A and B are shown apart, each in its own frame.
Chain A
Amino acid sequence: MSVVKFKLIKGFGCAGQLSKVPISQTFLKRFASTKNEIQETVIVTATVENVLSDKEVEKICNKSRLNSGHRNLVNGRLPYDHPVHRFHNTVKFKRRMYGRYGDASNIHPGLAWPTVEELNDIREYESVAYPLTIQEMQHNAIKRLQCEQQEIQMRQQKIDNNMKKLNSWINEVKEKSEKKIYEAQKSKEKRENLIEEVKKHFGYKIDPKDERFKEMLAKREKEEKKKVREEKKKIREEKLVNYLKNNE
């Protein structure tokens, strides 16, 4: 049987009721006073029979204001002994509870491993994510490396070969350009000669833009072309004659 004692002190008990005087003032007044009087106290003893169960006593003693789950967490116990939220029924949560609280969580540790279905899922995932074995990957990697090196080598070989031909190519280009310049000069000279001849024909200085000059020039050119054609014809005839002679 437990005895609960209450100690009542006069004066303090009423302090809260004197609302017209601020509570701080009452204290200050007492602190400032020089009278060292001790106020009378009355001790009231009351006995109560212990009718409360241990659980109820514990409930009264719990002044933490935490909810039960949090209070359990703080004290290192399993937060909930039965599922409260929907996610408390998930395998993930149960595994976690076992991982944290061990056998005290009342969870079968067999949950830690995947089931047959999950195993199949994992296998399927792995067959997609890691389709090749290590040996196959090594083989592929080596092959790719060799291909790259071969490509580099082929290109270098090509460059080497071309470098050998470079001088001859440069000469070719030079010759070509020289020939072009030479031909251009030749045709220019030819035309100049033609103009000179036309001028001689007229016997005086004539403007090359003049109509008569142009006509004459065209005529001369025509003659020249005719000449060339005739020469060509001659050569052809000679050839034919030679051919016939040889055949006879």
Chain B
Amino acid sequence: MTSFTNKNVLNLLKNLPRLTISNLRNNDGAVKKNKRGRAQHGGDKHGHGNKGSKARQNFMRPGYETGNTPFYMKFPREQYYKDHNVKRQYPPLSLYNLQKMIDLNRLDITKPIDLSALCNTGLYNINPEDKHFGVNLIDEGADIFKAKINIEVQWANEPTIAAIEKNGGVITTSFFDINSLFILINPKKFFKRGEAIPRRMIPPEDSILYYSSAANRGYLADPEKISWERFVLAQKYGYILPKIEDDPDYEMLVTRKDQRQIFYGLEPGWVVNLKDKVILKPIDSQLKDFYRS
């Protein structure tokens, strides 16, 4: 066994250089120098040959065959994504999330729910600039959906409609043109512009059948046909259709927007001033006619 009684050794240790930052050095090869030397320091072709496209490193775009008809353009094919850039989009909202919003008091179900109310929750938003044309209510969570609501969406499928009507609710699918959408998703911003509320425009021809079909609960459909379709759907999905007429919230449930209306309770042509808390209505007969047409 060695002992530390030897003072010489201890002194030696004391005098040896300590491990400090100034004594440290990188491992060999830890620091790589820039390999590309310039001029006389190896600056020549750098492994890229003499002249031409390879020396200039003009990398072609993928699929380009230097003037040949590219392979991907050689054969006719069915374009699955054709016109995807101009098609309308409906960002989805599930019934599960809708129920969650209601349970957490983000939505007031004593009033009709529209896109404006959904955007006001802060949990759902659309951007009309990205060709979003409203909400697509999807049937995820249809089994746990329990709220009785009067909701207006822009797209809904059959199970969703069934889930809402099973609980005694009402659903309407309605179209908003892009200007109306901007107004609807942020009404405060619009009211601050001090303009009269415009009329909602009619849907385009490719979606006219959807919005005038009673099976889709379209806003242009005949109400009698809708009530018949409600009955048919109840038969199909096997539930007893709750009677709206006997409901205490009858008034709320039958509230619907006019096909020219953007907001509930506000007609086109009115001016809402949030500062003075007044609503101004036009008196001029021409204006009245215009906004009524």
Produce 1/0 per residue, B196-219, CB < 8 A to A.
100001100110110010000000
- With A119-B287, A119-B290 as known contacts, state yes or no: A112 contacts B209, CB within 8 Å: no
Does A221 lie at the interface of the complex (its beta carbon under 8 Å from any beta carbon of B)? no
Q: Are the CB atoms of A98 and B273 closer together than 8 Å?
A: yes
Q: B51 interface residue, CB < 8 Å from A? A: no
Smallest CB separation, B177 vs chain A (Å): 9
CB distance from A177 to the nearest CB of B (A): 32
The verdict on A134 contacting B208 (CB below 8 Å), with A101-B275, A102-B275 known, is: yes
Please name all residues of chain B whose beta carbon is closer than 8 Å to the beta carbon of A132 when the two chains form the complex.
205
CA distance A99 to B274 in the complex (A): 7
CB-defined contacts of B182 to chain A, threshold 8 Å: none
Contact between chains at A134 and B195 (CB < 8 Å): no
Neighbouring B residues of A141 by C-beta, 8 Å: 205-206, 208-209
Residues of A within 8 A of B273 (CB): 98-99, 102, 109
CA distance in complex: A122, B291 (Å): 11
- CB-contacts of B214-256 with A (<8 A): 220
What are the residues of chain B within 8 A of A150 when measuring CB–CB?
Answer: none
Query: How distant is the Cα of A129 from the Cα of B204 in the complex, in angstroms?
Result: 10
Pair A134/B286 contact, Cβ less than 8 Å = no
Query: Is the Cβ of A137 less than 8 Å from the Cβ of B208?
Result: yes
Whether the pair A100, B286 counts as a contact (CB closer than 8 A) is no
- How many A residues touch the partner, as a band? 20 to 34
Q: Write out the residue numbers on chain A whose beta carbons fall within 8 Å of the beta carbon of B274.
A: 99
Q: Is the interface of B mostly helix, strand, loop or mixed?
A: loop
Q: Bound state CA distance, A78 and B102, in angstroms?
A: 40
| A122 to B273 alpha-carbon distance, docked (Å) | 24
Q: Is the CB of B282 closer than 8 A to any CB of chain A?
A: yes
Contact B205 A99 (CB under 8 A): no
Whether A99 contacts B287 in the complex (CB less than 8 A), given A130-B201, A138-B209, comes out as: no
Q: Name the prevailing secondary structure of the A interface residues.
A: helix
Tell me if A112 and B275 are in contact (CB < 8 A). Answer: no
Alpha-carbon distance between A115 and B269 when the two chains are bound, in angstroms: 13
Highest count of chain B CB atoms <10 Å: which of A96, A102, A116, A142: A102
Question: Please, which residues of chain B bring their CB within 8 A of the CB of A119?
Answer: 286-287, 290
Interface: A166 (CB within 8 A):
no
Q: Which of A112, A114, A129, A137 contacts B194 (CB 8 A)?
A: A112
Is the C-beta of B55 less than 8 angstroms from some C-beta in chain A?
Answer: no
Interface residues of A in 102-120 (CB under 8 A from B): 102-104, 109, 111-114, 116, 119
In the complex, are the beta carbons of B280 and A109 less than 8 A apart?
A: yes
CA distance A112 to B269 in the complex (A): 9
Q: Which chain B residues border A100 with CB–CB below 8 Å?
A: 192, 194, 275
Q: What is the interface of chain B, defined by CB distance below 8 A to chain A?
A: 191-196, 201-202, 205-206, 208-209, 212, 220, 269, 271, 273-276, 278, 280, 282, 284, 286-287, 290
* A–B complex contacts, Cβ < 8 Å, 11 sampled: A94-B194, A97-B194, A99-B195, A102-B273, A109-B273, A109-B280, A112-B195, A119-B287, A137-B202, A141-B206, A142-B209
Interface residues of A (CB under 8 A from B): 94-104, 109, 111-114, 116, 119, 122-123, 126, 129-130, 132, 134, 137-138, 140-142, 145
